[in-house]
Amino acid sequence: MADRGRPLPRSMMLLLIAQLAVNFRAGMVSPILALFRRQQGLSIGEIGLLGIVGTLGWFIFEPLSGFVADRVPKRGMMVVGVLGSTAVYALYPYASTMTGFALLAFAMASTMAAYNVATRYLTIALIPAESRGRTYGRYLSVISLGSMISPLAGGYATSLYGYTLPFYLAAVIGLVALVAVLPMKVDDGQSRRSRGSLDIRAALGRPMTSIYAVRATFTMNNFFRENFLPIYLHESQSYAASETVIGAYLTVFRLTTTAGQAFLGNLFDVVGSKRLMVVSLLCLGLSYAGLGALGGTGWLYLLGAVQGVLMAVADMSMMVHLMTVIPSGLTGVVTGLYGESENLGGLVSNPIIGFTYDGFGGVVTLSVLAIVLVSSSLLASVLIKDEKKG
C-alpha cells in the first residue's frame, strides 16, 4: 500500500479493518439473500421490484451524502451506515412479505449510502497521486479478503442450519466494523464552505459525465449478480447448483478478483485505465454469453475464475480513471454522483432483468446482459479519454 518499508498510516489501517468486516458480512449473505426471498414466496418479478426499491434508497441518499461529505466528518457517516445496516441484517430473518423485504431493502440502501460515500472519499484522499493503480490494487486486494471466503461460509452455514444463521452472523460481524470506525480521526478538513455553481459545473463536465455513463451501463452486471444469478444457478437445469456450490462459485469469483486486484495494479500505471476498461467490459460480456451456453459445475467454476479477473480490471479501471479526472475540492460531490450513476443504471436494470427473466428465462437474460456489457465497452472506447497520470 505505502512505499516499501513504510508502515500503513493508522487511519488507513482502521479503514481496512472496517472494510474487511463490511465485505465479509455482505459476502456471507450474497449467495442466500435472493434464495431466501424466493423461499418466502416472492416471484422473480417481485425480486426485481425489490432491487428497484433498494436502488431508490441509494438514488435518494447517495448524492445527498456526497454533498454532506464535503462538509462533515466522514467517521460519523460511517457509524450511521454500520449501525443501520447491522440492524437490517438482524431483522431479515423476520421478513416474510413483499412489504417487509421492501422496507429492509430501502433501509439498507439508505444507511449504506452514507457509509459508501465516506469510504470512497477517504480512499481517494489517502491514496497518493503517484502509482495510483498499484496502490489502489493493493488496497482492494486487502479489503476483498473479507468477501473471498465468506460466500462459501454463508452457503455452507445455510445448508446445515437454514437461512437464519448467516443473517445473525452478518449482524454480529458488523460490530467489528464499528469498533474500527469509532477510533478513526481522519478528516482531510476539506472545505465546509458552500459550493458555488462553478464547482457543480466542474463535477458535471465531460470527463466526469463520460465515466458516469460507462459506470451506469456496467451496473446491470452488479444487480444481476446480486439479485438473480444465485436463482438462475439454483433453478437452471444446466447447473442445478446447491447453496454450497453457489457459495463455492462466488468464492472462486472473489478469489480471482482479489488476485487480479493485487497483481494487475502495476499494469494500470503502464497501460492506462481506458484500454483495460474497454477490454475487460468486452470480455466480461462474452463470459456471460458463455455462462448461458454452457453447463456443469466445472464450467461454472472456470467461468467464475475468469469473471473474477475481468471484474477486478473493469471496476479498478473506472475508479482509477475517476481519481485521475476528479476536480480538486469536489471529492464528496463527485463520489456521490459516481454512485448516483450506478443507481440510475440500477433503476433501469432491475425491471429489465426481472421481466426478461420472468418472460423468457435465464439464458435470454444472460444474453441481454452480455449485449449491455459489450455496449458499455463500446461506450468507454468512444467517450473515455486517457488522462495524464499523477
Q: pLDDT tens per residue, the chain (390 residues)?
A: 444 444 456 777 788 888 888 888 888 887 788 888 888 888 877 887 887 788 788 888 887 887 777 777 788 888 889 999 999 999 999 998 999 999 999 999 889 988 988 888 887 777 766 666 666 777 777 777 766 677 777 877 887 888 888 899 989 988 888 888 888 766 544 444 444 444 566 666 777 788 888 888 888 888 788 778 888 888 888 888 887 888 788 778 878 887 777 677 667 667 777 888 999 999 999 999 988 888 888 888 998 899 988 988 888 888 878 877 777 667 777 777 787 787 787 777 777 887 888 788 888 888 988 998 999 999 889 888 865 544
- Residue 72 maps to a domain: yes
Cα separation of the two ends of the chain? 16
- Residue 190 maps to a domain: no
Collapsed DSSP state (helix, strand, coil) of residue 7: coil
Q: What is the pLDDT of residue 389?
A: 46
- Residue 1 maps to a domain: no
Tally the residues of the chain.
390
User: Do residues 70 and 191 touch, judged by C-beta distance below 8 A?
Assistant: yes
Domain range for 29 is 10-182+198-383
To the nearest 10°, the Cα dihedral for 195, 199, 200, 201?
Answer: 160
- Residue 117 maps to a domain: yes
Distance CA 333, CA 64 (A): 9
In this structure, what CATH number is given to the domain that contains residue 118?
1.20.1250.20
- Residue 4 maps to a domain: no
- Model's pTM, two decimal places? 0.68
- Residue 390 maps to a domain: no
Whose CA is closest to 284, among 349, 238, 218? 218
Rounded (5°) CA angle 21-135-273? 110
Whose CA is closest to 246, among 111, 151, 127? 151
- Residue 210 maps to a domain: yes
Distance CA 63, CA 218 (A): 19
- Residue 388 maps to a domain: no
Grid cell of 136 as nine digits: 489502489
Domains of the chain: total: 1
